[in-house]
Amino acid sequence: MSDSRPKELLRVEQLINEVKFEEALKIIENFEIKEPLTSEDQLSMLLLKGRIYGYNNQFEDAVTIGEQAYLMSQKLELVSESIEALFLKSRIMFVGRIDKALGFILEAEKKINSLADKSSSDILRQQVMFLALKSWGYWVKGEIELALKTAKQTLSQQENIDNKIDIANNYLLMGEIYSYLRELDTALDYATKSLDIAEELEFQPVIGTSSMLISRLYVSKSNYNQALDFCKKSLLIKEISSWDKVRNLNLLGEIYYFKSEFDRSLQYYNQAIALAEEENIYEQLALNLYHVGYIYRLQGEYDRAIETSESGLTLAEKIGYQYVAGGSLESLILICLDKGSIEQAKQYLTRLEKLSEQAQQKVITDWYSLSKAMILKMDGRTRNRAEAEVMLRKIIDDTALHSEYRQFALINLCDLYLEDLYLSKNLEILEDINPLLTETSMIAEQHHSYLWVAMTKFLQAKLALIQMKMDEAKHLLTEAQNIAESHSLDLLAIKISSEHDALLTQVDDWENLRKKGAPIGERLGLVSLEETIDVMLRKRGIQPPELTDEVPVLLLIIAEGGIPAFSYPFSEEWSIDDGFISNFLTAFNTFSEEVFSKGLDRAKFGEYTLVMDSFGSFSVCYLFKGQSYLAKQNLLQFAHRVQNTTSIWQNVNNFHKTHQPIVLSENPPLESLITEIFIKESPEISTLL
């Protein structure tokens, strides 16, 4: 396109590069009614408008304009303009017509190669655009290695052209590719670069898509709160396409699924379904139906699960979406097994086998292998269970398999051995189970699957109890809860905390069992293994107890050497009798070092529970009656606020100089903080999640 174009069109091109699309479209609108317009000017105007639509993710409009512009350019025998029109037509890849799009891109390549003079800035820009669209085409088609190779070529060529819009888009693609390759840090780096450029340009569509990609990456890293922040940021961008809105809603559903908050997950999945139906986005409609059916299964609503999964399967088969068809069949098999309908599960397995042979996709083949092993495992015959064990071990040894499927196979094998343990009462079976759990935890940590890490430690704690390893069980429970809390897995953290509390009340019972050498059957009766295994086998969701506020008893800040720097008794009996506090301090000095050295976060002190934390050279201790979960959150909040409130922190640190205990009446900020955190009612659970 020549710079002899009218000044209005030159101004439009400048505005496009500055991402001032609305202003550019207004100039085009005024230019359209200008008389007379040459055919060349009309064509230039169309191509610029199409470029704006492409950048704004208005792909169908861009394709329509591309078709008009291509006919005009052919008639006028303008090669450069026909290349530009083919680029617009190739946007059809983003509405599901990838093969047709690649045809347009290859046609554009031939025309570029036919040009005698390739030195002009327009032709250089088109060469880079060709590479960019080609890399996107490979990505959409699933040819990952070619997509990465071409995207790298694009990036090296973009250094010669100062077009930040296209650079932001290419960084976005690089992030998508590395996300697929599970190189999460590299992917996050590219996605962040894309977002930074987009925010600098105020390029709203790419702000939306980059934020969504960053959200997905944080999901993969089990950083769910950060994932929520970026996902919601993406949804606030009004310029994102309906396709991306559906994907964002799907992503929100996925985040809450991983957090085991299934009602919230369903809320977003159903919103995605409604929008996908309204906009005829059938791939996303099928995908979200599949996810909703899966959650209904976890909630025990098997009839709804089957109905919804069948709907997703029917649609996926109709549009040729083999991934969702395979996932829906696997889900239907699991539902049937949960219901005990093995024959119906076998019918779905036959369909999954046929699809696996047709699709030649590893993920579908893996689903088939896992499903077959599950059916054999459910069969009561010894021969079939032995075959299931062989199949599960083969899946576990396949390092090319997705980590989640290997973990699922490992837990199914553990479940087989646990069934043997219940039947034989032979503790030696744990020698087969423990290495499997170690491998599960190792794979989960390598792939940032911290839900699995926490759940595995939770199960290991229960197995330690069966072996009478009380300290190890408490340490594993503490580790599991800390992992769950640090990754916003709130329901799991609450569940683990409640089991830890229960264990502390049963210490004497377990000690009596140890002394009398209780048989394995009696010990198994005190450990709820089945519920934990069922969650890991994806048969049910996490069901924590209802939270209740603790009853505060005593708050202490203790300096090195066990010297009290501050004490606040909430209970009248403790405030009246100083002997209670002195007795507690004597006991605390005895067991605090042991508790901290074993990595524990709580202990029993008679009828009370103690949770502890440390800041600086001080320990802070909180004695209470009731559940530990909210009590621990209150203590952590108190410790954080003390350190970050200058007036309070100075008074605490002054203890090292004065050796005088802190007097509450002389420190109103500290008194207000204690009242705010411990004396007022604790927040409802809904505000914690």
Nearest of 605, 573, 608 to residue 588 by alpha carbon: 605
Residue 567 Cα distances to 556, 580, 668, angstroms: 4, 12, 15
User: Do 128 and 166 contact (CB within 8 A), yes or no?
Assistant: yes
Task: Give the pLDDT score at 107.
Answer: 82
Residue 670 Cα distances to 537, 610, 644, 652, 681, angstroms: 48, 21, 12, 10, 18
* Domain co-membership, 528 together with 559: no
Q: Is 143 left (phi over 0), alpha (psi -120 to 50) or beta?
A: beta
Which segments in the chain show pLDDT lower than 50? 576, 682-689
At residue 239, the 3 state secondary structure works out as coil
* Domain co-membership, 530 together with 594: no
Which residues fall within 8 angstroms of residue 625, CB to CB, at 6 or more apart? 550, 551, 553, 607, 608, 609
* Domain co-membership, 349 together with 320: yes
376, 397, 418 - which closes a domain: 397
Domain extent at residue 616: 552-685
Element housing 662 (H / E): none
β strands within 7-91, DSSP E: none
* Domain co-membership, 385 together with 461: no
- At 20, which CATH number? 1.25.40.10
Whole-angstrom distance between the N-terminal and C-terminal Cα of the chain? Answer: 56
346, 371, 397 - which closes a domain: 397
Residue 572, domain member (yes or no): yes
* Domain co-membership, 240 together with 133: yes
Which stretches within 519-622 are classed as H helix?
520-524, 529-536, 572-576, 578-597
Residue 392, domain member (yes or no): yes
Which residues fall within 8 angstroms of residue 566, CB to CB, at 6 or more apart? 555, 556, 557, 652, 661, 662, 664, 670
Which residues fall within 8 angstroms of residue 210, CB to CB, at 6 or more apart? 168, 171, 172, 175, 191, 192, 194, 195, 198
Please count the CA atoms within 13 angstroms of the CA of 101 that sit on its side-chain side: 26
Structure tokens of 205? 């569509």
β-strand pairing of 602-605 with 563-569: unpaired
β-strand pairing of 563-569 with 551-559: antiparallel
* Domain co-membership, 388 together with 464: no
Cis peptide before 36 (omega within 30 of 0): yes
* Domain co-membership, 536 together with 565: no
Q: What are the φ and ψ backbone dihedral angles of 556, each rounded to 5 degrees? A: -130, 140
Which residues fall within 8 angstroms of residue 496, CB to CB, at 6 or more apart? 454, 458, 477, 480, 481, 484
Nearest of 135, 205, 204 to residue 176 by alpha carbon: 135
User: Do 257 and 241 contact (CB within 8 A), yes or no?
Assistant: no
Count other C-beta atoms under 10 Å from residue 416's C-beta.
19
β-strand pairing of 602-605 with 551-559: unpaired
* Domain co-membership, 595 together with 559: yes
Residue 667, domain member (yes or no): yes
483, 512, 544 - which closes a domain: 544
Distance CA 106, CA 147 (A): 15
Nearest of 20, 47, 53 to residue 31 by alpha carbon: 47
pTM of the model: 0.83
Residue 268, domain member (yes or no): no
- At 573, which CATH number? 3.30.450.60
Residue 275, domain member (yes or no): no
Distance CA 376, CA 369 (A): 11
Residue 20, domain member (yes or no): yes
The secondary structure of 450-469 as a DSSP string is HHHHHHHHHHHHHHHHHTT-
Which stretches within 381-469 are classed as H helix?
382-397, 403-424, 430-446, 450-466
Nearest of 488, 484, 474 to residue 444 by alpha carbon: 484
* Domain co-membership, 538 together with 422: yes
* Domain co-membership, 336 together with 349: yes
Distance CA 602, CA 592 (A): 10
Residue 268 Cα distances to 261, 353, 491, angstroms: 11, 32, 19
Distance CA 352, CA 348 (A): 6
Give me the amino acid identity at 185.
D
User: How many residues can be counted in the chain?
Assistant: 689
Residue 266, domain member (yes or no): no
* Domain co-membership, 175 together with 293: no
Element housing 371 (H / E): helix 362-378
Task: Give the pLDDT score at 118.
Answer: 60
Residue 436, domain member (yes or no): yes
Q: What is the pLDDT of residues 440-456, one digit of tens each?
A: 999 999 988 999 999 99
* Domain co-membership, 384 together with 458: no
Q: Is 515 exposed, middle or buried (0-12, 13-18, 19+ CB in 10 A)?
A: exposed
User: Do 150 and 138 contact (CB within 8 A), yes or no?
Assistant: yes
At residue 553, the 3 state secondary structure works out as strand
Q: Please count the structural domains in the chain.
A: 4
